[in-house]
Amino acid sequence: MRILITGARGQLGRSVAAAAIERGIDTVALGRRQMDITRAENVNRGIEISLPDLVVNCAGYTAVDRAEQETTLAFAVNRDGPSHLADACSKKAIPLIHISTDYVFDGRKQDPYDETDPICPLNVYGQSKAAGESEIHKKTDRYIILRTAWVFGAHGNNFVKTMLRLGCKHETIRVVDDQIGNPTFSGSLAEVIMRIAAHYRRRNEINWGIYHYGGQPPISWYGFAQQIFQIARRAGLPLKLTRPEAISTDEYPTAAKRAANSVLDNRKIERTFDIRVESWHAGLQAVVAHHRQTQKRR
């Protein structure tokens, strides 16, 4: 089986490519320079040349606050890109795995969100991702839309790396404590994608549709920050931070509105693909250790 990965230079794309190569899968990993998914001709040409058996779209515009100003760009990447991919895949009868987000929900539900819950994004980023889901649904029947949340890894920009950077510079950091979600290690998410790919390889057909995968257990940003700094101290990082300060969303205004609850229900993906949802703790330890090694080399 040959897998084409788009967005292969991002934190998730790099993890998916590494997981595929580790398994000996014929992997075509393309960044934006090799395949700009906002251009239909680039997508068509890339698929024609690589002739994959499966496409995994890890490309995405993820700057949540900046999207409020860069609306056109956000929709070009998160709506038009998936639309081009789904169209090209449909013409070649190639299945598509697409990464979406918890930001399609408004956070008003008290319980975890499952795949049947109506979407109601609060910000431009969420709206653009919801539009991408809709385009895929219209263009092809053979797709997996994998909604995830709070992704972090050793590469790219993410909350963990931001906390580590700030914790080494400041004695106090203010972190929101009334938004709850699922921190998800990019390596764990990559393993889930490989599990789905293997399932398809064996059977050549699977239960297509939308699935949720978020790391466990759910936690607030503040609680997650506490865990980050505890592990960082044990790893010997030179933290200046004495304590994180818990604040409310109202005390930390941002350009984009955030949901108070974006916890994802994982039961459907567990049942369908026999996937055991990973704790984010091990992934967090790995990212902190990688950060520590990077700092030593500087």
CB 259 within 8 A of CB 103: yes
Alpha-carbon distances, residue 249 vs 134, 178, 223, 241, 254 (angstroms): 30, 7, 14, 21, 9
Task: Measure the N-to-C terminal CA separation of the chain; round to a whole number of Å.
Answer: 40
User: Which residue among the candidates 61, 125, 213, 222 is catalytic per the annotation?
Assistant: 125
CB 149 within 8 A of CB 214: yes
Cα angle 26, 31, 36; round to 5: 115
> Any alpha helices (H) in 124-265, and if so which ranges?
124-139, 159-167, 186-203, 221-234
Tell me if residue 213 is catalytic.
no
**210 SS3 class:** strand
Q: Which two tokens stand for residue 71?
A: 């609306």
User: How does DSSP classify residue 80?
Assistant: I
Q: Which two tokens stand for residue 109?
A: 């539900």
Q: Which two tokens stand for residue 139?
A: 């263009």
DSSP lists the bridge partners of residue 60 as: none
In degrees and rounded to multiples of 5, residue 258 shows phi and psi of: -115, 150
CB 64 within 8 A of CB 123: yes
Q: Report, as residue numbers or ranges, the catalytic residues.
A: 125
